Amino acid sequence: MAYDPSKWAAGLAPVAVLWVLGTIGALHDVERDLSGAVKTALRDEVEGPQAKVRGRDVKITGGAFTKADQKAAGETAYVSGVRRLDASALGLVPAVGPYEWWIVRNGDRVTISGASPNPQTQAKIAAAAKIAGVADVFDRTTSRAANPRRCRRRGSMRQACSPICPTGP
């Protein structure tokens, strides 16, 4: 068998096209996986986390509740596979203080409104209202950052809710 490049060289073109298409497809999968992993890592520290991924470089946006959360988010977002991270677009959620929230009861439905310091506290307020034995709890609270100079220690949700929830208006 003789060396004849004209016979096998034509077969290299389809192989090269398949190689390029496979590489491009894998790049989109990597970007999608990194974006999901970064958003999951930032879920507790950033409100509305968004991750724009190009290759293995990630730019995160959203709103941190404190400067410490903002710094920690930059460190937390370095998940496996991230080469470079840009957290310059990560802002701070506006400060609110003192935290005010209120409860309105209409029959078996309770509506909670106002501001809470972070999503964890927001979930605790809603859980405390559900523990009070109300059939339907509608949570309309928003999460805002603390303004420590204006906040004062408030009573617990159960203490504030107990006179209202069991008896109704």
The residue extents of the domains of the chain are 5-92, 96-161
Residue 117: per-residue pLDDT: 75
d(CA 24, CA 16): 13
Residue 145: per-residue pLDDT: 64
Question: pTM, whole model, 2 decimals?
Answer: 0.53
Q: Say yes or no to pLDDT of 129 above 70.
A: yes
Residue 71 class from Cβ within 10 Å (0-12 exposed, 13-18 middle, 19+ buried)?
Answer: middle
The 10s digit of each residue's pLDDT in 80-112 is: 888 999 988 888 877 666 677 788 888 888 888
> Which class would CATH give 5-92?
alpha beta
Domain at 96-161: CATH architecture: 2-Layer Sandwich (3.30)
Report, in this order, helix, strand and coil percent for the chain, each rounded to 5: 40, 30, 30
Q: Say yes or no to pLDDT of 135 above 80.
A: no
d(CA 121, CA 124): 5
Residue 96: per-residue pLDDT: 64
